[in-house]
Amino acid sequence: MGSRAAGGGEGWGGQGGDGREEEEEEEEGGAEGPPAQCLFCARAFGGAEEVFAHCSAQHGFDVREAARQHALDFYGYVKLINFIRRKKPTAEYLKSLSSPVPWDGEEYLKPELEDDLLLQFDIEDVCEPANMCSNGLNDTTVLEQLKCAEHRARLAEAALARAQEDLQKMKQFAQDFVMNVDVGSSSSSNAIADLHEDEDDVYFSSYGHYGIHEEMLKDKVRTESYRDFIYQNPHIFKDKVVLDVGCGTGILSMFAAKAGAKKVIGVDQSEIIYQAMDIIRLNKLENIITLVKGRIEEVDLPLEKVDVIISEWMGYFLLFESMLDSVIYAKDKYLAEGGSVYPDICTISLVAVGDMNKHADKLLFWEDVYGFDMSCMKKAVIPEAVVEVLDPYTLISTATVIKRINCNTASASDLEFSSEFTLTITMSTKCTAVAGYFDIFFEKDCHNKVLFSTGPWCTKTHWKQTVFLLEKPIPVEAGEALRGKITVRKNRKDPRSLFITLSVKDTKQTYSLQ
In this prediction, residue 111 carries a pLDDT of 86
Total residues belonging to the chain: 514
Q: What angle do CA 253, 257, 263 make, to 5 degrees?
A: 90
Residue 42, classed as helix, strand or coil, is coil
In this prediction, residue 169 carries a pLDDT of 59
Residue 23 annotated as catalytic: no
Residue 321 annotated as catalytic: yes
Q: Would you write out the chain's pLDDT as a tens digit for each of its 514 residues? A: 433 333 333 333 333 344 444 444 444 444 455 788 999 998 888 888 888 899 888 899 998 888 888 888 888 888 899 899 888 888 888 888 877 788 888 788 888 888 888 887 776 655 544 443 344 455 555 565 565 566 556 556 655 665 666 666 565 555 554 444 444 444 444 544 444 445 544 443 434 345 665 877 688 999 999 999 999 999 999 999 999 999 999 999 999 999 999 999 999 988 888 989 999 999 999 999 999 999 999 998 989 999 999 999 999 999 887 789 999 999 999 999 999 999 999 999 999 999 999 998 888 888 889 999 999 998 888 989 999 999 999 999 999 999 999 999 999 999 999 999 999 999 999 999 999 999 999 999 999 999 999 999 999 999 999 999 999 999 999 999 999 999 999 887 876 788 999 999 889 999 988 7
Q: Which of 92, 112, 144, 312 is catalytic?
A: 312
In this prediction, residue 161 carries a pLDDT of 63
Distance CA(318)–CA(349), nearest Å, equals: 10
Distance CA(256)–CA(246), nearest Å, equals: 14
User: Beta-carbon neighbour count of residue 48 at 10 Å?
Assistant: 23
Distance CA(275)–CA(212), nearest Å, equals: 14
Q: Which of 28, 321, 416, 480 is catalytic?
A: 321
Exposure of 4 by Cβ count < 10 A (0-12 exposed, 13-18 middle, 19+ buried)? exposed
